[in-house]
Structure 1
Amino acid sequence: MDEAEMTKRLEMLRIEHRDLDAAIDALSANTSDQLQVARLKKRKLMLKDQIALLEDYLIPDIIA
């Protein structure tokens, strides 16, 4: 996977993460289906980890 593909994937993951955040808020306010909310939160955490990995790869550490 080259840098352009990684950047595109990173943006897609960020969009999905934001969408899940909105879905969790809406579901929490309108229903008592805590199992579904928990599943969405777990998915959101997995996305956050993937985002962090891609960001670490794309943005190298600079020792000053």
Structure 2
Amino acid sequence: MNLDIRIWRLRSRHRWLEQRLRAELRRPVQDAFAIQDLKRRKLQVKDELIVAEARLAPAGI
């Protein structure tokens, strides 16, 4: 898969997870497990994004 496409997909997934997390936090009765899961998944995607973006950066920067 092209690295640019992978980065775009990771950013899209990160935004989607953020939207789901915000929606869950707005609920009157929040699901603590769902919040924890969304935060964990969002962090995993962020870590993957950092690695992918590092591969895209020119060497020596």
Q: Structure 1-normalised TM-score?
A: 0.85
What are the ranges of 5 or more consecutive residues in structure 2 without an aligned counterpart? Answer: none
Which residue matches 2:9? 12
Map residues 20-35 of structure 1 onto 2, 5 A cutoff: 20-30=17-27, 31-35=29-33
Match of 2:43 among 11, 31, 45: 45
Deviation at 1:6, TM superposition (A): 1.0
Structure 2 residue 31 is matched with structure 1 residue 59: no
1:6-29 per-position Cα deviation (integer Å, ceiling 9, x unaligned): 110110000010011011000111
What are the ranges of 5 or more consecutive residues in structure 1 without an aligned counterpart? Answer: none
Residue identity over aligned pairs, in percent, reads: 33
What is the CA RMSD across the aligned residues, in angstroms? 1.3
Aligned partner of 1:37: which letter?
A: I
Cα distance in structure 2, aligned partners of 1:45 and 1:61: 25
Structure 1 ranges of 4+ moved more than 3 A: none
Q: Structure 2-normalised TM-score?
A: 0.88
Q: How many residues align?
A: 60
